Structure 1
């Protein structure tokens, strides 16, 4: 029976047959000539076919559903198992073809492909599950939703369980995000490594060092898929340099936590001295504008400055004295 036919039959059963069954059960059975059943021949037939009614001396009696459910559920379970097996087989076929595609020297769409909007998520949903050995990701804190984080978690955990190694870099600010902390706890429990940096960086995903995904400029709704081995080697080298400077996300060492706070403070000061807008500073720190405003307020209190201009001047003087002293 086709899926849509099964769904239609179930909906009919819930709408027509289930209420009739409840009424017959409450009455302790009804005569075959009772208007309750004669006025609802379709529902009565559904109950008889499902084994939930039996004919007993010209009366319909209700049958315990627990004794007959197996005759309906078992075939569906068997069909579901076959579909899961078939789905897994097709997934393996596409995964193998995907690896062949990525290893090919060129494709019809070239070594760099532009993706737009939903195409980005669809690409990730197809390429990450096909990873065979390694996933490298650099993820600036951009406020992913809980749903997006859950999808990423399921996808990445599945890859880790296949034996894929995974390293991820976030900005320090990601440590304050509850959804990110939950994601990190889950993937690190499966063997992933996660570190954080103070500086701003763009998103990067590298799969098996054969295909990479990067943003196209400042437009986050456009991404570039790169298959050129030379470009990928360059991106991996950048990742490795950042990785070496990163701090372990899961570290509870007091000195590490203190160093992270100092690095964020130093970066805030540097951005203020350079005169960037608040929006730019917040983005480069990986925090919300409100959180960035709180950082600035703390510095104003520390330097006893009443205005942002005065704070910038005092910070600049302090930096100049330090340089002179060095």
Structure 2
């Protein structure tokens, strides 16, 4: 017999308490009113008896406990087997649906629609499917804090698989992603397979482009609703690729080992913070555009106050204006040259 949540609930509470009592008192008499039908421990005793955790000792006329290690496999093994069968069946269903997806994308019906809206749980499987179909190139832009820990295994498996098929891949993050543990693990995994990764000080929207034939961008939905738009219209996909390329040229290789590069990145984040302050943006907006938490953004502002030796934001704005600080200073040519030297090795 397979046991489910209802039986486990009884087992974890009343049945476990009764079993411990049986062990401590060397069993319970056969005529004990608690274990008779309608008794206080009737349901718990019936479950222990069915599982095989109690047995009747005729000589002592008592129900006594049985070693759980002997019985465990009778309950756990069938559940494990059932789980393995469900996983196998799930994989077969996924493979069958993948075949249908391939047929749909090749059909005239699919080609007639240059746009497709994806919502909620449909987004991740769709991305996995189109990445699995990639044959030449993947371009991805991931704003703000980059990869979440829970997404890491799936992302690595999906994109490393594409790289091993010979697909080239370039990924763009914001500078703040360099501080994220999950992103660093992801970058280490994909660059080991030949991917290139860079970071940029500016805010940008999420973008995935597959083989320059389909792009996936954020859509508009209600509060808390995840919406994505799959774009197949060639001119619009080309336009999105051009935006990516322009950002890629301004970005810096993802490495924390080059001291001069790290200093340049810190200077770019400082300049971006200054631009947010001069533009009058609220802290939540500034934090989002830098891809950092509000607390980290507040720390950036605090560092600027110390640098300019002021106590308030009003004084900071006045002092930056007096000195002609705009936050749009062009980094030295030697720093920009780091991209040319190390971009291909990122």
Relative to the length of structure 2, the TM-score reads 0.73
Partner residue in 1 for 2:42: 41
SS in 2 for 1:137: strand
Shift of 1:300: 3.5
Partner residue in 2 for 1:252: 257
Q: In 2, Cα distance between the equivalents of 1:271 and 1:26?
A: 70
Q: In 1, Cα distance between the equivalents of 2:101 and 2:213?
A: 11
In the alignment, structure 1 segments of 5+ residues that lack a partner are 321-326
Does the alignment pair 1:157 with 2:166?
Answer: no
Equivalent runs, 1:1-326 vs 2, <5 Å: 6-38=4-36, 39=39, 40-57=41-58, 58-107=61-110, 110-114=113-117, 119=119, 121-130=120-129, 131-132=131-132, 133=134, 135-141=138-144, 149-164=148-163, 166-176=169-179, 181-192=180-191, 193-207=196-210, 209-216=212-219, 223-268=228-273, 276-279=279-282, 283-287=288-292, 288=294, 289-291=297-299, 293-294=301-302, 296-297=304-305, 300-301=308-309, 306-315=315-324
Q: In 2, Cα distance between the equivalents of 1:74 and 1:157?
A: 32
Q: In 1, Cα distance between the equivalents of 2:158 and 2:214?
A: 16
Shift of 1:313: 4.8
Conserved? CA contact 2:213–2:237, under 8 Å: yes
Conserved? CA contact 1:95–1:129, under 8 Å: no
Shift of 1:282: 5.0
Conserved? CA contact 1:210–1:232, under 8 Å: yes
Q: In 2, Cα distance between the equivalents of 1:277 and 1:47?
A: 69
Q: In 2, Cα distance between the equivalents of 1:167 and 1:318?
A: 28
For residues 139-196 of structure 1, the C-alpha deviation after alignment (integer angstroms, 9 at most, x for no partner) is: 221x68xxx81232232023135344653211223334xxxx2112221232244320
For residues 200-220 of structure 1, the C-alpha deviation after alignment (integer angstroms, 9 at most, x for no partner) is: 322212345453222358999
1:317 to 1:90, Cα distance in 2 relative to 1, 3 A: closer
Conserved? CA contact 1:194–1:249, under 8 Å: yes
In the alignment, structure 2 segments of 5+ residues that lack a partner are 330-346
Partner residue in 2 for 1:323: none
Q: In 2, Cα distance between the equivalents of 1:316 and 1:29?
A: 84
Q: In 2, Cα distance between the equivalents of 1:267 and 1:315?
A: 15
My pick for the range that moved more, 246-255 or 289-298, is: 289-298
Q: In 1, Cα distance between the equivalents of 2:316 and 2:171?
A: 39
Relative to the length of structure 1, the TM-score reads 0.77
1:34 to 1:267, Cα distance in 2 relative to 1, 3 A: closer
Aligned-CA RMSD value: 3.6
Q: In 1, Cα distance between the equivalents of 2:107 and 2:239?
A: 19
1:161 to 1:50, Cα distance in 2 relative to 1, 3 A: farther
My pick for the range that moved more, 55-64 or 230-239, is: 230-239
Shift of 1:85: 0.5
Shift of 1:250: 2.8
Q: In 1, Cα distance between the equivalents of 2:286 and 2:10?
A: 59
For residues 204-239 of structure 1, the C-alpha deviation after alignment (integer angstroms, 9 at most, x for no partner) is: 123454532223589996543212244223323332
